[in-house]
Amino acid sequence: MSTIASPRPSVPSSPMGLVLIAALIGLVASGVYVVSQLMTQGHTAYNGDSRGLFWGLPIVTYDFFLLSSTGLSMLASVWTVFRVEDYRPIARRATWLAVAALAGGVVALFLELGYPLRAMLMIPFSGATSAPLFWKVWGVIAYSAALLWLIVGWLLPRAPEPPRAAAVLALVAAVYINFIAGGVYGWMSMRPFWFGGEMSLAFLVESLLGAVTFVIIFTHLAQGFQVDRLNEPTRHLFTGRLGGLFAILMVAHAFFVVSRLIAGLYANGDGMEVWHYLWSRPVFHLELWLGIGVPLLLTVVPTWRRNPQLQLLAAIVAIVALFAARYDFVVGGQLVPLFKGSWVHGLLEYQPSMTEWAVLALAIFLSNAVNAFGEKQLQLDER
């Protein structure tokens, strides 16, 4: 007597189609709002301050996404350049996430500039070789070219291995950008809050930390946040080497933040009073004890680190705290006026405008749209 075989349970489909639709809707809505505000109000739509606070939330957004992109390229290079086989499962996704993050960062920068097309043409050929930003722009150009090369030569044809020259160029350009980006702040002796030769190293740690959290979050997102859908090599990497790297980077990031905080609170030099202002704010303590403390605890304890749900929670909390730390760093360094006089009492005040928040939303939506498109079209999972 024949029996009727029971149907196999269906595998849940990836949510990236819905993510793409939601991201495109958000991109259009935020883009229309930002462009309309800039066309009617110009740069006054941003709450900068002519007395010295020139870089607001759009620059924070640009820095955060650019450094996350370079960190993702460095993380991918563990396999694409150094051929550490354990990291093969995330190399394609990390590379495409680097493209998505770069797109979000560049659009935030262009919307902050008064004449983005003019700046795009003039800055690289200005000859201002004494300015770190001049060299940073050329680094971003080389980095963008390397990512384009990897897309055309590796991701689109789904070649088994990337062009080695492109992978090396992406790695070198990513490290170079972190060095110069740290120097943009750390070499400014007139800004004591920023000044310090360790800034480039701190940027390198933060970019890699952002990369690890992005890979964990978006890998789980691609699988519908269902742990059992992760293939075995990816699961092994997350609970093994990548989880260990996450813990090491969290310790290094916490060390940088705490050591700079103690030095700032102890110092009595002009310009360091920003640390006392930050320490007095409840939101800063939330960032410190919750934003750093929770993911630090969840990653340094081995049994918790190997739990996929707790690791994902640590990644989500860490990436939000990392953005908050970038905001405190960029804005905090400008709160002391450069040219003090009787018209300036104490620190400058800054609150992002609705247009600036919309720029952040636009960058997030654009990055998610690019990433979701790649997840659907490029088969980023290694099988």
Q: Are residues 260 and 325 in contact, defined by beta-carbon separation less than 8 angstroms?
A: no
DSSP 82: T
Q: Which domains does the chain have, with CATH numbers?
A: 16-337+354-377 (1.20.1630.10)
pLDDT at 332 over 70: yes
CA distance 247 to 234: 17
Query: From residue 38, how far is each of 41, 90, 188, 368 by CA, in Å?
Result: 5, 39, 30, 24
pLDDT at 214 over 60: yes
3 state DSSP class of 165: helix
Residue 13 pLDDT level (bands cut at 50, 70, 90): low
Q: Measuring CA to CA, which residue among 378, 347, 372, 379 is closest to residue 23?
A: 372
Interhelix angle 199-222/308-332, nearest 10 degrees: 140
143-148 average pLDDT score: 98
CA atoms within 13 A on the CB side of 65: 28
Q: Are residues 75 and 211 in contact, defined by beta-carbon separation less than 8 angstroms?
A: yes
The mean-pLDDT minimum among 105-119, 226-240, 318-332 falls in: 105-119
Widest Cα–Cα separation across the chain? 98
The mean-pLDDT minimum among 129-143, 289-303, 341-355 falls in: 341-355
- Residue 277: the pLDDT is 93
Strands (E) located in the chain: none
224-228 average pLDDT score: 90
Chain centre distance of CA 253: 14
pLDDT above 70: percentage of residues in the chain? 95
Burial 157-193 (b: 16+ CB within 10 A, else e): eeeeebbeebbebbbbbbbbbbbbbbbbbbbbeebbb
pLDDT at 359 over 60: yes
Distinct helix (H) and strand (E) counts, the chain = 15, 0
Give the total residue count for the chain: 383
CA distance 248 to 236: 18
CA distance 247 to 245: 5
Which sign does the torsion angle of CA 148, 150, 152, 156 carry?
A: negative
- Residue 5: the pLDDT is 44
Report phi then psi at 370, rounded to 5: -60, -45
CA distance 149 to 166: 6
Which residue has tokens 């760093």?
Answer: 329
Q: Measuring CA to CA, which residue among 293, 292, 298 is closest to residue 314?
A: 298
Residue 341 pLDDT level (bands cut at 50, 70, 90): low
- Residue 369: the pLDDT is 97
The mean-pLDDT minimum among 9-23, 37-51, 254-268 falls in: 9-23
Report phi then psi at 95, rounded to 5: -65, -45
Q: Are residues 34 and 359 in contact, defined by beta-carbon separation less than 8 angstroms?
A: yes
Interhelix angle 354-377/16-41, nearest 10 degrees: 150
88-117 average pLDDT score: 93
CA distance 65 to 16: 21
Q: Are residues 149 and 166 in contact, defined by beta-carbon separation less than 8 angstroms?
A: yes
Q: How high does pLDDT run on average in the chain?
A: 91
User: Per residue in 42-101, pLDDT tens?
Assistant: 889 999 887 778 999 999 999 999 999 999 999 999 999 999 999 999 999 999 999 999
Q: Are residues 299 and 311 in contact, defined by beta-carbon separation less than 8 angstroms?
A: yes
Q: Measuring CA to CA, which residue among 348, 329, 351 is closest to residue 284?
A: 329
Query: Both ends of the chain: CA-CA distance in Å?
Result: 39
Q: Are residues 327 and 341 in contact, defined by beta-carbon separation less than 8 angstroms?
A: no
